[in-house]
Amino acid sequence: MELIFYATIEVDRHFTKKNSRPIYRRGGKPFIGKDATYAKAETAMVSCLRSQGVSHGISEPFECDVHAVFLFHFDNYYVKDGSRRSKRVGDLSNLYQMPEDCLQKAGIIKDDSQIVSHDFSRRLPSDKTYLEIILLKLD
């Protein structure tokens, strides 16, 4: 495996696409939209990824199969007394969706279906909230 991209992105919080979707109506038909806070965070992440992609010399999206490692660092990982993990820390499988979509929108990868593995991805306690993204090209 070859390292093809690495990024660190400070965030106010980690979002799960699944749990922050309002329902709107157009012409009487309901549809699921994007929460405004989620959309703002997604736009910021795409911008940061584009910038880091340029600094890595990425001019075209990768089209190969990719092993992605997402390290979600939380400053609120534990409850105040430190006895257990907070229920406010999102499910790992739900946390994947936003950075996957943002990698595609930022032009780092062609399509998020290229991600064939999330091995070693984690939710981690930290003194600040941020995301580390490691992309490895599979042989």
Q: What letter represents residue 14's amino acid?
A: H
Give the burial string for 42-71 (b: 16+ CB within 10 Å, else e). beebbebbbebbeeeebeeebeeebbbbbb
What's the pLDDT tens digit per position in 51-103? 999 998 999 999 999 999 999 999 988 788 878 888 778 888 889 999 999 99
Q: Which CATH number fits domain 2-137: 3.40.50.1370, 3.30.379.10, 3.40.50.11540, 3.30.1330.70?
A: 3.30.1330.70
Judge whether 45 and 102 are in contact, CB under 8 Å.
Answer: yes
Q: What letter represents residue 7's amino acid?
A: A
Q: Other CB atoms closer than 10 Å to residue 106's CB: what's the count?
A: 22
